[in-house]
Amino acid sequence: MERIPILRMGDCLLVTIQVDMHDQLAMTLQSDLSRAIAAQRTSCVLLDISQLEIVDSFIGRMMANTAATGRLLGAETVVVGMQPAVAITLVELGLSLRGIHTALDVERGMALVERAAASRA
């Protein structure tokens, strides 16, 4: 079964979605990710969706749920590189993903995470 790799970078987990998301894959990713956060006790997750061109309400909700689950486990989620069409779709679907941090690209996402870590310390 295909899985989306979860890479560890310092205190972060980096997830790059490079294939079309279907519901099963999204479910698998969600459970894999929560297990990885708990096991590796990381404080942040970078979800890179710059290659994702199509979203539906399920994927949108999955992102919100992943972020909420992560927060319960002590990790903040940063969604990076969302495409304009995806952003417009999510807004039209009424999913504003409140409580999720966003950044234009992975680099800025990392900077955001580091700033947040520095302010916590």
**Interface positions with another protein (CB under 8 A):** 79-84, 86-88, 90-92, 96-97, 102-105, 108-109
Closest CA to 93 of 66, 52, 59, 45: 59
Provide the minimum distance between the beta carbon of 10 and another protein in the complex, in angstroms, as a whole number: 20
Q: Give 12-48 as a DSSP string.
A: EEEEE--S---HHHHHHHHHHHHHHHHHHT-SEEEEE
Question: Which one, 29 or 101, has the nearer CB to another protein?
Answer: 101
Provide the minimum distance between the beta carbon of 109 and another protein in the complex, in angstroms, as a whole number: 8
Provide the minimum distance between the beta carbon of 39 and another protein in the complex, in angstroms, as a whole number: 28
Question: Which one, 70 or 109, has the nearer CB to another protein?
Answer: 109
CA distance 8 to 36: 9
